[in-house]
Amino acid sequence: MAVTALAAELRAAGRDVIGLAAGEPDFDTPEHIREAAIRAIREGRTRYTAVDGIPELRAAVADKFRRDNTLDYPPGHVIVSSGAKQICYNVCQAVLDPGDEAIIPAPYWVSYPDMVRLAGAEPVIVQTGLCDGFLLSPEQLESAITPRTRLLFLNSPGNPSGAAYTAAQLAALGEVLAEHPDVVVATDEIYEHIWWAPEAFTSFAAACPALFDRTVTINGVSKAYAMTGWRIGYAAGPAVLIDAMKKLQSQSTSNACTISQHAALAALTGDQTCIATMVRAFRERHDFVVRALDAMEGIRCRPGEGAFYAFADARDTIRRLGLADDTELCQLLLNEAGVAVVPGSAFGTPDHFRLSFACGMETLREALSRISRAIG
Ligand code: PLP
């Protein structure tokens, strides 16, 4: 968000800047979803709802988990919040106490470590890299767990790496966790549908049924349905944890926006073909961007399984250009190429940068040729 703001500032000053820093789809929310919101307003559905969401939406979320993920959650184990961001925050507040530790594989979504700190606990960052496909290994997990570990964040497909765990890889992590009954798993699956790996997406709790009772499955409509501004996320998990999250929410924001809940209901229960249309575009852009980045001297970029980001290893370029770090590289790309990307250090993995391909192919072609010229 900071890089996007800086790019907007430069643009306002008359500079030609291509913004590839934002984490949101460039598509409009599909028409039938927008119509459902307009209908909700017309029908006067504008009052408070139950703190954890309207019953129809919670039932639709439970149906979604059954349909897409073979997970059987009663609607009472489902909560709807103002974005997956609020869900993650509430999980931290509900699970963590001062002195506790939460394991977060890096590169991570920027908010996890600060959410852990805001709960008074300590983030334990485990570094992954290009050579292990940006995936946490069972050995790394085992050695990061201490008697104080209470939470593990997983994010598949991942922001910023685009990397996703196979069912077998999740099961291997599950085997480690089986020996540590005090650890809750928060699995952030918000990019589930933006997916092009040959193997179908597997939800953590589906791969590790023995851990079902201590897994919070987190998802939302922001990414799959291009609904970032509507602020609807949801989760399902053990009743005791969902109840605690509901209590927190009742004393902070109460229900998520009523009108947006009706829009999310239309998203989850309506025609799903809108997702495929967007994913086709994301995949075409992914293939182009990853190939173009990886072909540049001093840049290595691994194809992702999903999401809409490329995460490039630029350590050789940083060294060759005599730059101090990835932040200087991103400043150079912004100032000299007029392209805004985010330094890897923001995600806990220095020497990299994240490029979001949530924009059209013409813009991407221009951006990639500018990057190539600037670092060539
Ligand atoms: N989780 C991840 C991994 C994300 O990348 C994002 C948004 O960028 C979120 C959660 C938050 O999504 P929401 O818009 O539902 O709050």
DSSP 19: E
Q: Which pLDDT score, from 0 to 100, does residue 123 have?
A: 98
Query: Residue 155: enclosing H or E segment and its boundaries?
Result: strand 149-155
- How far apart, in whole angstroms, are the C-alpha atoms of residue 62 and residue 77? 9
Q: Which pLDDT score, from 0 to 100, does residue 5 have?
A: 78
Q: Is the dihedral of CA 47, 48, 50, 56 positive or negative?
A: positive
Q: Which pLDDT score, from 0 to 100, does residue 305 have?
A: 97
Which of 92, 159, 193, 216 to mutate to test ligand 1, by most ligand atoms within 8 A of the CB atom? 159
- CA of residue 52 relative to chain centroid, distance: 22
Q: Which pLDDT score, from 0 to 100, does residue 295 have?
A: 97
- 122 near 101, Cβ under 8 Å? yes
- How far apart, in whole angstroms, are the C-alpha atoms of residue 309 and residue 293? 12
Give yes or no for residue 1 having a pLDDT over 80: no
Question: By mean pLDDT, which of 75-79, 90-94, 105-109 is the weakest?
Answer: 75-79
First-to-final CA distance of the chain: 28
pLDDT band at 6 (very low <50, low <70, confident <90, very high): confident
Q: Is the dihedral of CA 351, 2, 307, 330 positive or negative?
A: negative
Give yes or no for residue 104 having a pLDDT over 80: yes
- 309 near 162, Cβ under 8 Å? yes
Give yes or no for residue 2 having a pLDDT over 80: no
pLDDT band at 171 (very low <50, low <70, confident <90, very high): very high
- What spacing in Å lies between the alpha carbon of 298 and ligand 1's midpoint? 30
Q: For residue range 307-329, what is the model confidence (pLDDT) as tens digits? A: 999 999 999 999 999 999 999 99
Q: Is the dihedral of CA 259, 260, 266, 271 positive or negative?
A: positive
pLDDT band at 197 (very low <50, low <70, confident <90, very high): very high
- How far apart, in whole angstroms, are the C-alpha atoms of residue 49 and residue 263? 14
- What spacing in Å lies between the alpha carbon of 23 and ligand 1's midpoint? 8
pLDDT band at 133 (very low <50, low <70, confident <90, very high): very high
Q: Which pLDDT score, from 0 to 100, does residue 4 have?
A: 75
Name the closest-CA residue to atom 5, ligand 1: 159
pLDDT band at 8 (very low <50, low <70, confident <90, very high): confident
For the CA of 87, the nearest atom of ligand 1: 16
- 233 near 82, Cβ under 8 Å? yes
- How far apart, in whole angstroms, are the C-alpha atoms of residue 281 and residue 358? 9
Q: Which pLDDT score, from 0 to 100, does residue 311 have?
A: 98
- 91 near 112, Cβ under 8 Å? no
Greater confidence (4 vs 173) lies with 173
Q: For residue range 47-59, what is the model confidence (pLDDT) as tens digits? A: 999 999 999 999 9
- CA of residue 44 relative to chain centroid, distance: 33
Q: Is the CB of 162 under 6 A from ligand 1?
A: no
- Listed residue (251, 229, 212) closest to 90, CA to CA: 251
Question: What mean pLDDT comes out for the span 291-307?
Answer: 97
- What spacing in Å lies between the alpha carbon of 310 and ligand 1's midpoint? 16
| Percent of the chain scoring above 90 in pLDDT | 94
Question: What mean pLDDT comes out for the span 118-142?
Answer: 97
Length of the chain in terms of residues written: 376
Give yes or no for residue 3 having a pLDDT over 80: no
Instruction: Identify the bridge partners of residue 216 per DSSP, sorted by sequence position.
Output: 186
- CA of residue 78 relative to chain centroid, distance: 19
- What spacing in Å lies between the alpha carbon of 147 and ligand 1's midpoint? 29
- CA of residue 355 relative to chain centroid, distance: 14
Q: Is the CB of 23 under 6 A from ligand 1?
A: yes
Question: What mean pLDDT comes out for the span 281-310?
Answer: 97
- What spacing in Å lies between the alpha carbon of 297 and ligand 1's midpoint? 32
Q: Do β-strands 122-127 and 78-81 pair in parallel, antiparallel, or remain unpaired?
A: unpaired
Question: What mean pLDDT comes out for the span 96-109?
Answer: 98
Question: Over the chain, what is the mean pLDDT?
Answer: 96
Instruction: For residue 307, give both structure tokens.
Output: 């999401």
- Listed residue (33, 69, 74) closest to 52, CA to CA: 74
Q: Which pLDDT score, from 0 to 100, does residue 376 have?
A: 83
For the CA of 84, the nearest atom of ligand 1: 15
Q: Which pLDDT score, from 0 to 100, does residue 325 have?
A: 96
- 12 near 5, Cβ under 8 Å? no
Q: For residue range 261-286, what is the model confidence (pLDDT) as tens digits? A: 999 999 999 999 999 999 999 999 99
Instruction: For residue 315, give both structure tokens.
Output: 């350590």
- How far apart, in whole angstroms, are the C-alpha atoms of residue 33 and residue 55? 18
Q: Which pLDDT score, from 0 to 100, does residue 23 have?
A: 86
3-state secondary structure 175-206: HHHHCCCCCEEEEECCCCCCECCCCCCCCHHH
Own/partner pairs, 290-296, CB within 8 angstroms, 24+ separation: 292/368, 292/372, 293/355, 293/368, 293/371, 296/371, 296/372, 296/375, 296/376
Q: Which pLDDT score, from 0 to 100, does residue 172 have?
A: 98
Neighbour count for residue 237 (Cβ, 10 Å)? 27
Query: Which of 300-337 are b and which e, b meaning 16 or more Cβ less than 10 Å from the residue's Cβ?
Result: bbbbbbbbbbbbbbbbebbeeeebeebbebbbbbbeeb
Q: Is the CB of 190 under 6 A from ligand 1?
A: yes
Q: For residue range 324-350, what is the model confidence (pLDDT) as tens digits? A: 999 999 999 999 999 999 999 999 999
- What spacing in Å lies between the alpha carbon of 168 and ligand 1's midpoint? 25
Q: Which pLDDT score, from 0 to 100, does residue 250 have?
A: 98
Q: For residue range 69-90, what is the model confidence (pLDDT) as tens digits? A: 999 999 899 999 999 999 999 9
